[in-house]
Amino acid sequence: MDLRAELLKSIWYAFTALDVEKSGKVSKSQLKVLSHNLYTVLCIPHDPVALEEHFRDDDDGPVSSQGYMPYLNKYILDKVEEGAFVKENFDELCWTLTAKKNYKPDRNGNSVISHQDAFKLWCLFNFLSEDKYPLVMVPDEVEYLLKKICTAMNVELNSCELDDYLAQEPQGQGGLTVWQFLDMVNSGRFLRGIEQEAISMAVEEVYQEVIEDGYLWKKGQLRRNWSERWFMLKPSSLSYYMSEERKEKKGSIALDKHCCVEVLPDRDGKRCMFCVKTSSRTYEMSASDTRQRQEWTLAIQTAIRLQAEGKKSLHKDLKQKRREQREQREQRKAAKEEETQRLKQLQEEKERKLQELELLKEAQRQAEILLQEEEQRRRQQHEEMQRTLEIQLREAEQARASMQAEMVLKEAEAERQRKRILELEDMQERLQEALQQEVKARQDEEAVRYAQARLLAEEEEKLKQLMKLKEEQEEYIIKTQREKQVLKQEMENKNKCLEEAQKQLEEVRVNRQRVDQDVMAAQRKLRQASTNVKHWNVQMNRLMHPIGPGDKRTNVSGGVFAGYQPLLSRRDSSLK
Cα distance between residue 397 and residue 414, in whole Å:
25
Are the C-beta atoms of residues 277 and 260 closer than 8 Å to each other? yes
Residue 226's region, left for phi above 0, alpha for psi from -120 to 50, else beta, is beta
- CA 131 to mean position of chain CA atoms: 37
Burial of 232 (0-12, 13-18, 19+ CB in 10 A): buried
Which amino acid is residue 213, in one-letter code?
D
Are the C-beta atoms of residues 559 and 536 closer than 8 Å to each other? yes
pTM for this structure? Answer: 0.48
Cα distance between residue 378 and residue 380, in whole Å:
5
pLDDT, averaged in runs of 10, over the chain (576 residues): 76 82 79 83 79 63 71 82 76 86 70 81 82 79 80 77 72 72 77 76 75 69 79 78 78 84 84 87 85 80 74 60 71 84 89 90 90 90 90 89 87 79 79 86 87 87 87 81 77 84 88 88 88 84 65 46 45 44
Residue 193: the pLDDT is: 67
Which of 65, 70, 119 has its CA nearest to residue 97? 119
| DSSP state string for 100-168 | HHH----TTS--SS-HHHHHHHHHHHHHHS-SSSS--B-HHHHHHHHHHHHHHTT----HHHHHHHHHH
Which amino acid is residue 169, in one-letter code?
E
Which amino acid is residue 346, in one-letter code?
L
| DSSP state string for 255-297 | --TT-EEEEE--BTTB-SEEEEE-SS-EEEEE-SSHHHHHHHH
Q: Could you tell me the strand order of the sheet in which 260-264 lies?
A: 249-254, 237-241, 226-233, 213-219, 282-286, 273-277, 260-264
Residue 567: the pLDDT is: 43
Could you tell me which residues come within 8 angstroms of residue 153 by beta carbon, excluding any fewer than 6 positions away?
194, 198, 199, 201, 202
Are the C-beta atoms of residues 255 and 300 closer than 8 Å to each other? yes
Peptide bond into 139 cis (omega under 30): no
Residue 177: the pLDDT is: 85
Which H helix or E strand runs over 232?
strand 226-233
Q: What is the DSSP letter of 554?
A: P
Cα distance between residue 32 and residue 22, in whole Å:
19
